[in-house]
Amino acid sequence: MTPLLNKFSFTEKKDTRSGFGAGLSELGKSNPNVVALCADLTGSLKMDAFQKAHPERFFQVGIAEANMMGIAAGLTIGGKIPFTGTFANFSTGRVYDQIRQSIAYSHKNVKICASHAGLTLGEDGATHQILEDIGLMKMLPGMVVINPCDYNQTKAATLAIAAHHGPVYLRFGRPAVGNFTPADQKFEIGKAVHLNEGKDVTIIATGHLVWKAIEAADALEKKGISVDLINIHTIKPLDTDAILKSVTKTKCVVTAEEHQMNGGLGDSVTQFLSRSLPVPQEYVAVNDSFGESGTPDELMVKYGLDAANIIQAAEKVIKRK
Amino acid sequence: MDNLKDLELLCTQVRRDIVRMVHAVSSGHPGGSLGCVEYFVALYKSVLKYDASKFSMDGKGEDLFFLSNGHISPVYYSVLSRSGFFPVKELNTFRKLNTRLQGHPTTHEGLPGIRIASGSLGQGMSVAIGAAITKKLNNDSGIIFSLHGDGELQEGQIWEAAMYAAANKIDNYIATIDYNGRQIDGDVDNVLSLGNLKAKFEAFGWTTLEIENGNNLEAVIKGLNNAKIYLGKGKPIVILMRTEMGMGVDYMMGTHKWHGSAPNDEQLQKALAQLPETVGDY
């Protein structure tokens, strides 16, 4: 058996937000209808290159996120494809009603692009560390919710959502993480990436937890536990075929995400499996708590989102079979 | 433009539509709807450039209108239907199950004429600005119009949008404020005073115009056409349009009471007696 970590080696660490910035720049060149808006966080969102190359298609709205969402909705009328950029907290909770009425209910072709999601925002603390955004956004009818795992996947997702007609929430983050997705891997909205074939336990991870799940699976395989590993970049629509296929083999599942247990990926997986193939499930997620200041690594350990927690959850869920 | 007398007769018919629509479902917002009849008739029958038979979401080459205070949907639906966007008889489905004429306007049911959902207040100015920017990007000379309640101006998003529009010279856009001085809980001055509204918009950098009598059709048509003179001069335009909530039904005027209440059978008859059928009921 090839050790998993060898299979997914990477040469450099890069932030997912830079993957977004690179994707947006490419779209600027390839699609004249793509426009971008930012609420005073151009540098943080890595939108500078687009702004510089296409000043006539870039709109700095200032610290006024509600207005930004409304303007984005209006820009679609006449065929533009607006990409909004701000932190995940200000992209969702702060402007939920604007998104709900002017974008989701009105079915506008707006791409809500959100950086600094989750605990890995780090030192800024809980005011900025939104852990509820996936839940908020997946509850909106018709909203696509995507949480890619590394630079290459975020770039590919950015390109893919421009080609999809309808509202999309694209969530990414601040820290540099291993960039292991092949640059030429096709990104298909709603299609999971099967990372490893296994038979004892299914691990379904999203976003920054995918790499941690690879580390966990590697350790589990060394202990003789065979892991079926799925990278779910699209939380809505969920790739239920991939989940069912895997769980049919393994009969148990661990979900892992940088989000509240309530309303996250784990919830979506439970909702599906409870109606099609109920099996024991363990959750690696934040358990009804706000975050706090600290380094990203410290926070992931303190709030139970590390590889060790995935290993523990896997061993526990196997025993429950 | 249709003959002014004909349009005045249409205004009376639209008022009949409004009270009949809200009466039929014992819900809805007649007060503000009645107060804005002249604005909608002026806009759709005289000022706005559009082709109702070829409605498209993108509205390229056309003028576009956005209703921000979506609760006055009865007047919007009545005038849209009487401008050819959908059959007039469909007005009898207002607020009923499976209707395209939802309580508040929406694109969700595909009703021709509507380009954005509204009802949750304060969002329409931002949307209008976005549409105005797209017109400019597309080299489209169409004008963007929007209507807002005065109570709605208590929403902070309005002022985010007002600041943006001036700073970014959104000058292909004419906003109108239904300045009737009343909101659902009472007089605007008592609920939360807007202070000197004209000075506020001027301070935000808007060309600020007024229509003294927003229930005089000729004055509204003139006021809207006059506003067009200021297009393309580097500033957004707002019209403070004085209206009377409940206009045309005596007992609905001079009070906020009919903001969100429908007349009963007896009250309907009293209202209809003041609003003779002119161009035909739905």
Residue A6 has a pLDDT of 85
Contact indicator for A311, A219 with CB cutoff of 8 Å: yes
Best CA proximity match to B93, nearest among B82, B78, B72: B78
CB contact under 8 A, B116 and A73: yes
CB contact under 8 A, B58 and A74: no
3-class state of residue A82 by DSSP: strand
Report the residue of chain A nearest B104, measured CA to CA: A101
DSSP 8-state class, residue A164: S
CATH of A13-178, one of 3.40.50.970, 1.20.1260.10, 3.50.50.60, 3.20.20.150: 3.40.50.970
Asked whether residue B244 is domain-assigned, the answer is yes
* Rounded-to-integer distance, Cα A276 and Cα A274, Å: 6
Q: What is the pLDDT of residues B98-117, one digit of tens each?
A: 999 999 999 999 999 999 99
CB contact under 8 A, A78 and B131: yes
Residue A3: pLDDT band with limits 50, 70, 90: confident
CB contact under 8 A, B127 and A73: yes
Chain B CB within 8 Å of residue A74 CB: yes
pTM of structure: 0.97
Nearest to A101 among B64, B119, B161 (CB): B119
**Preferred mutation among A37, A54, A67 to probe B, highest tally of B CBs within 10 A:** A67
CB contact under 8 A, B164 and A61: yes
Q: How is chain A split into domains, by residue range?
A: 13-178, 190-319
Strand order through the sheet with A58-60: A58-60, A34-38, A81-87, A111-115, A168-171, A144-146, A234-236
Q: Name the residue with tokens 């927003």.
A: B214
Task: Tell me, yes or no, if the two domains A13-178 and A190-319 fold the same way.
Answer: yes
- The CATH number of residue B226's host domain is 3.40.50.970
Best CA proximity match to A219, nearest among A103, A314, A107: A314
Chain B CB within 8 Å of residue A102 CB: yes
Asked whether residue B23 is domain-assigned, the answer is yes
For the CA atoms of B254, B260, B266, B272, the dihedral, rounded to the nearest 10 degrees, stands at 70
Asked whether residue B127 is domain-assigned, the answer is yes
Asked whether residue B280 is domain-assigned, the answer is no
Mean pLDDT of chain A: 97
Q: Name the residue with tokens 């007349």.
A: B263
Alpha helices in A223-295 (DSSP H): 240-250, 265-276
Contact indicator for A266, A281 with CB cutoff of 8 Å: yes
Q: Identify the contact set of chain B against chain A, taking CB-CB distances under 8 A.
A: 57-60, 64, 66, 106-108, 115-120, 122-135, 137-138, 140, 156-157, 160-161, 163-164, 168
CA distance B82 to chain A (A): 24
Residue A9 has pLDDT above 90, yes or no: no
Section A183-208 average pLDDT: 98
Q: What is the pLDDT of residues A24-57, one digit of tens each?
A: 999 999 999 999 999 999 999 999 999 999 999 9
CB contact under 8 A, A79 and B134: yes
Report, in this order, helix, strand and coil percent for chain A, each rounded to 5.
45, 20, 35
Residue range(s) defining the domain that contains residue B214: 4-274
CB contact under 8 A, A105 and B123: no
Asked whether residue B210 is domain-assigned, the answer is yes
* Rounded-to-integer distance, Cα B45 and Cα B137, Å: 28
Nearest to A70 among B127, B134, B156 (CB): B127
CB contact under 8 A, A77 and B161: no
Low-confidence ranges of chain B (pLDDT < 50): none
CA distance B133 to chain A (A): 7
Residue A185 has pLDDT above 60, yes or no: yes
Sequence-distant (6+) residues with CB within 8 A of B195 are none
A65 is catalytic: yes
Residues in B touching A69 (Cβ below 8 Å): 126
3-class state of residue A19 by DSSP: helix
Q: Which residues pair with A83 in a beta bridge?
A: A36, A111
CB contact under 8 A, A78 and B161: no
* Rounded-to-integer distance, Cα B223 and Cα B238, Å: 11
* Rounded-to-integer distance, Cα A209 and Cα A226, Å: 19
Best CA proximity match to A83, nearest among A34, A40, A133, A155: A34
CB contact under 8 A, A106 and B116: yes
* Rounded-to-integer distance, Cα B199 and Cα B254, Å: 26
Name the percent of chain A lying above pLDDT 90: 97
Residues in A touching B130 (Cβ below 8 Å): 70-77, 82
Report the residue of chain A nearest B158, measured CA to CA: A67
Q: Name the residue with tokens 């604005």.
A: B39
Considering the candidates A12, A26, A65, A292, report the single residue annotated as catalytic: A65
Residues in A touching B58 (Cβ below 8 Å): 77-79
CATH code reported for the domain at A190-319: 3.40.50.920
Section A68-72 average pLDDT: 98
Residue A197 has a pLDDT of 97
Best CA proximity match to A261, nearest among A283, A280, A236, A243: A283
* Rounded-to-integer distance, Cα A308 and Cα A302, Å: 11
* Rounded-to-integer distance, Cα A82 and Cα A167, Å: 10
Name the percent of chain A lying above pLDDT 70: 99
Number of domains in chain B: 1
Chain B CB within 8 Å of residue A105 CB: yes
Residue A1 has pLDDT above 60, yes or no: no
**Preferred mutation among B64, B67, B111, B133 to probe A, highest tally of A CBs within 10 A:** B133
Q: What is the pLDDT of residues A48-65, one digit of tens each?
A: 999 999 999 999 999 999
Residue A2: pLDDT band with limits 50, 70, 90: low
Asked whether residue B48 is domain-assigned, the answer is yes
Section A171-175 average pLDDT: 96
Q: What is the pLDDT of residues A99-130, one digit of tens each?
A: 999 999 999 999 999 999 999 999 999 999 99
Residue B141 has a pLDDT of 98
